[in-house]
Amino acid sequence: MKMLKKHLSPFLLAASAACCSAPSVTWANSDSDFQISGFGRLVAGYLDTGDAAYLDYSDKVTFDSQSLAALQVDWQVIDKVSVTAQLLAHSNDAKDSGIEWLYLTYHINDDWQLRVGKQRTPFFNYSDVRNVGFAYHWINLPQQLYNGVLFPTYEGINLNYRFGNDEIQGSVETYWGSYNDSYEIAETQIKPDVSNLHGIIGRLQRQNLRFSLAFHRGDIDVALDELTAFSNILRSAGYGVSADSLSPVGKVEVLTTSLGYHSFDYFAEAEIMKLAGEPTAFPDMIGGYISAGIYSPPMTYHVTLASSSVTYDKPVNEIPLGLSPELDQLYYGYDSVYQRFKRDSLNSLAVGVRYDFSANFALKADVSLLRGQGKQRAFFEVKNEQFDNTATLYQLAVEWVF
């Protein structure tokens, strides 16, 4: 993968930058129709502490954390069938570069659309364009939702139905698929095995007001070998209830809702998520944000408050303490495993400005005040145990699409 990225990055960055002043490129003939478009971003960031990193930003200015370039190829195979591939190159070594999307779309009619293949999981309003910074006003989407514990893509089918009249328009989107890949939260790589992942998203729009409500569910195996091994030891020692409480397998359910209003002069939008996971190692989480801003073309000024709160099911430690050194070891082992579950409760306040200086380019500047709750991880990569979970992130970005 690193070799792939090494070759992809310069090519995509060059191609993306070269094309960004022009509209998307189309080659068409009577039998087929290719369209190439793309997007990119160059992001610089600085965190005002050396005691921790946040989104791979530290107390040295870096461009590597979130810069990327992508090309999207749409091939109209026949009248109602198209194939879309999105090739993405991250500048960050920890993120996989390669094929981000690859799906076939069947336009059943003007109202119904069916997609099959590898797609982004549509948990939130901006989930499926998380890498397209040009599509939103922040540099970072609120991490309390968008860098949460959820799986970024899936392989499966997606059915979308649009409806409406002059006054109200809406859509219902459903999907079903699976996820078997890895992603990163802070410094932790996660590789869950998610099957039977499905969801339904309803969206309504009346003039400038938008509302959505969604429910998602999946069967997950968090696939933590150490956890499974310890659970087996507990079971063989006769402590089945404690062993079951560390089961890495179970259901994950997510409920999300959003409300947004965009006018010519201002906007306000909010999203809330409630996540519940059956496996003890999978957190229960409530997260949300509210963001508002003023449009003063070509400038956009905005402010965002976001928060997340993470809990885990209570431990079920049935091992008696003080009977023997071996059992004591097991007792404290159980306690230690439970304490190692990461908690990402974070409050943040972000202010920013976006300058659309051409149809395809935008400059952005954001300042984010980050306040982690208690001594939790709070999406930080802690380097010094004395870190007080408080930091300020400064960022500048150039975003483009073509």
Partner 1 sequence: MKRLLLLTLLLIQPLMTEAKSDDHIMVIINKSSDIEQLSKSQVKNIFMGTVSVDNIVPLGLPPGEVARSIFNVRVIGLTESRIRSYWAQMRFSGRLKEPDNASGIDDLIINIRSASNTIGYVPENTPLPDDIKVVFRSSEQ
Give contact residues for partner 1 (rule: CB under 8 A). 17, 20-21, 23, 37, 39, 42, 72, 84, 86, 101, 103, 105, 110-111, 113, 115, 119-120, 122, 126, 128-129, 132, 134-137, 160, 162, 164-167, 169, 205, 207-208, 262-264, 267, 295, 297-298, 300, 354, 356-362, 398, 401
Contacts of 304 (CB under 8 A, 6+ apart): 138, 142, 289, 290, 291, 292, 348, 349, 350, 351, 352
Q: Are 20 and 361 in contact (CB under 8 A)?
A: yes
Q: Which is nearer to partner 1, 192 or 293 (CB)?
A: 293
CB-wise, 34 or 341, nearer to partner 1?
Answer: 34
**Pick 121 or 345: Cβ nearer partner 1:** 121
Tell me the closest approach of the beta carbon of residue 169 to partner 1, in angstroms: 4
Nearest-approach distance from CB 164 to partner 1, in angstroms: 4
Give 135's contacts (C-beta < 8 A, 6+ positions apart): 126, 129
> Closest CB to partner 1 among 214 and 398?
398
Round to whole Å and give the CA distance between 198 and 195: 9
Please state the separation of Cα 361 from the chain's center in Å.
Answer: 23
Nearer of residues 171 and 373 to partner 1, judged by Cβ: 171
Query: Smallest distance from the beta carbon of 148 to partner 1, in angstroms?
Result: 19
Question: Where in 263-388 does DSSP place strands (E)?
Answer: 266-277, 284-296, 299-311, 346-355, 361-372, 380-382
Instruction: Give the shortest CB-246-to-partner 1 separation in angstroms.
Output: 38
Strand, helix or coil at 16? helix
- Output the smallest distance, CB 392 to partner 1, in A: 24
Q: What's the first-to-final CA gap in the chain, in angstroms?
A: 26
Structure tokens that stand for 62 in this block: 């870096």
Q: Which is nearer to partner 1, 209 or 369 (CB)?
A: 209
Smallest distance, partner 1 to C-beta of residue 141, A: 12
Residues 173, 128: contact at Cβ < 8 Å? no
